[in-house]
Homo-oligomer: A and B are copies of this chain.
């Protein structure tokens, strides 16, 4: 169980080198540079398996397709660039969200998302609109 295939190795390597959460199609595109015949279904199946084995972490975004990131980081949140659609890691966390929880509710988990422009898009955006 869990064989070392060319496809799985490539998918892992792409995610490892990305440095940021990737979407299934981003992963497919990157892997196809090395494996042109790779299918999307294979990407999804491997992502599912890698999440199950806790090697990957799913980043569910509001109003956007899920991204996948290597699960070797601690608790953190994400910044979603509105312009290039890229997702970036934020090391910090506002903390103390229990204070926001209304009485009677049981808080188990939380998510914080920041939206705006990443450094690259900020530059292009600024210079373009000025």
Q: List residues of chain A with CB under 8 Å of any chain B CB.
A: 58, 60-63, 66, 77, 79, 82, 88, 90-94, 96-97, 99-102, 104-119, 122
Contact = CB atoms under 8 A, between A and B. Distances in A.
Nearest to A111: B113
Contacts of A109: 114-116
A91 B97 CA distance: 13
Nearest to A125: B106
Contact of A77 (B91, B100, B105, B106): B100
Contact of A119 (B97, B105, B110, B117): B105
Contact of A101 (B60, B79, B110): B79
A37 B102 CA distance: 38
